[in-house]
Amino acid sequence: MANVSSLNINGKAFPADADPERTLLSVLRDDLQLTGAKYGCGEGECGACTVLLDGVPVRSCRRTVGSIGQKKIETIEGLEQNGKLHPVQKAFIDADAMQCAYCTCGMIMSAVALLRKTPKPSRDEIIRAMDGNICRCCAYPRIMKAIELAAKGGAQ
């Protein structure tokens, strides 16, 4: 299989030259300098590497870059528009929904996907959508509050 030569990230074509068997996470971070998605476990259990693929949250550590094709990838770096934070990003700051914040980018991407599909989620819906994301500092109540805050403000 030929090397991957281009990826569609945050609405732009990114030139690449990557072994198709490498993980999407590795290529985003190491080749394209998009380090917002983090390595946390390599087995899709912690959600720190979450990006959106055609709007669906996926674990980029479990996807080979060769399997992506021209699907639309959204990363944390694409959320801010014209220097303005995305409402979910702002809500995370307002609710102080982080400690070490290593999980935060993955949390925000999962939350953005949830709110697009379910703009006014119930507590149970939030828990179900977010349960694959680990915050080892356990700031869970605040992250839930941030998502509710963003939902109230009509985050998209």
Partner 1 sequence: MKFQPGMEPERYELDGPLPYRFSFRRRSFFKTVGAGIVVVALLDKALAQESGRRGGGRRPAPQDIGAWLHIGEDGQITVYTGKVEVGQNVRTSLTQAVAEELHAPAGSIRLVIADTQLTPYDAGTFGSRSTPDMARTLRRVGAAAREALIDLAAENWKVDRASIKVADGKVVDEKSGQSIEFAQLTKGQKLAKAIGENTATSVPVGNSLPKVDADKLVTGRHRYASDILLPDMLYGKVLRPATLKGELVSAETKEAEAMEGIKVARDGNFVGVVAPNDLLATRAVKAIKAEWKSSPQISHKELYAHLKKNARQPQGERGGQHTGSVKDGLQAADLRNSQTYTVAYIAHAPLEPRAAVAQWEGDKLTVWTGTQRPFGVRADLASAFHIPESDVRVIVPDTGSGYGGKHSGEAAIEAARLARAAGKPVKLVWTREEEFTWAYFRPAGVIEISSGAKKDGLLTAWECHNYNSGGSSLRTLYSVPNQISEFHSTDSPLRQGSYRALAATANTFARETHMDELANSLKLDPLEFRLKNLNDVRLRAVLEAAAKAFGWGKKAKPNHGFGIAGGSEKGSYVATCTEVAVESGKVKILRAVTAFECGAIVNPDHLKNQVEGATIMGIGGALFEAIEFENGQIKNGRFSDYRVPRFSDAPQIESVLLNRKDLPSAGAGETPIIGIAPAIGNAIFAATGKRLRSLPLRATAS
Residue 142 has a CB neighbour count (10 Å cut-off) of 18
Q: Which of residues 3-22 bind partner 1 (CB under 8 A)?
A: 19, 21-22
Q: Tokens representing 7?
A: 């990826």
**x/- map, 30-59, partner 1, by CB under 8 A:** xx-xxxxxxxxxxx-xx-x-----------
Q: Which of residues 131-150 bind partner 1 (CB under 8 A)?
A: 131, 133-144
Does 92 interact with partner 1 (rule: CB under 8 A)? Answer: yes
Which residues partner with 118 through β-bridges?
A: none
Q: Which stretches of the chain are assigned E, i.e. beta strand?
A: 4-9, 12-18, 50-53, 56-59, 72-74
What whole-number distance in Å separates Cα of residue 39 and Cα of residue 45?
11
| Count of other CB atoms within 10 angstroms of residue 120 | 10
| Of 52-60, 66-74, 82-90, 112-120: span binding partner 1 (CB under 8 A) | 82-90
- Residue 78 CB coordination number (10 Å): 19
**Binding span for partner 1 by CB under 8 A among 6-14, 27-35, 52-60, 148-156:** 27-35
Q: Which residues bind partner 1 (CB under 8 A)?
A: 19, 21-23, 26, 29-31, 33-43, 45-46, 48, 75-77, 79-80, 85, 89-90, 92-93, 96, 98-105, 108, 126-127, 130-131, 133-144
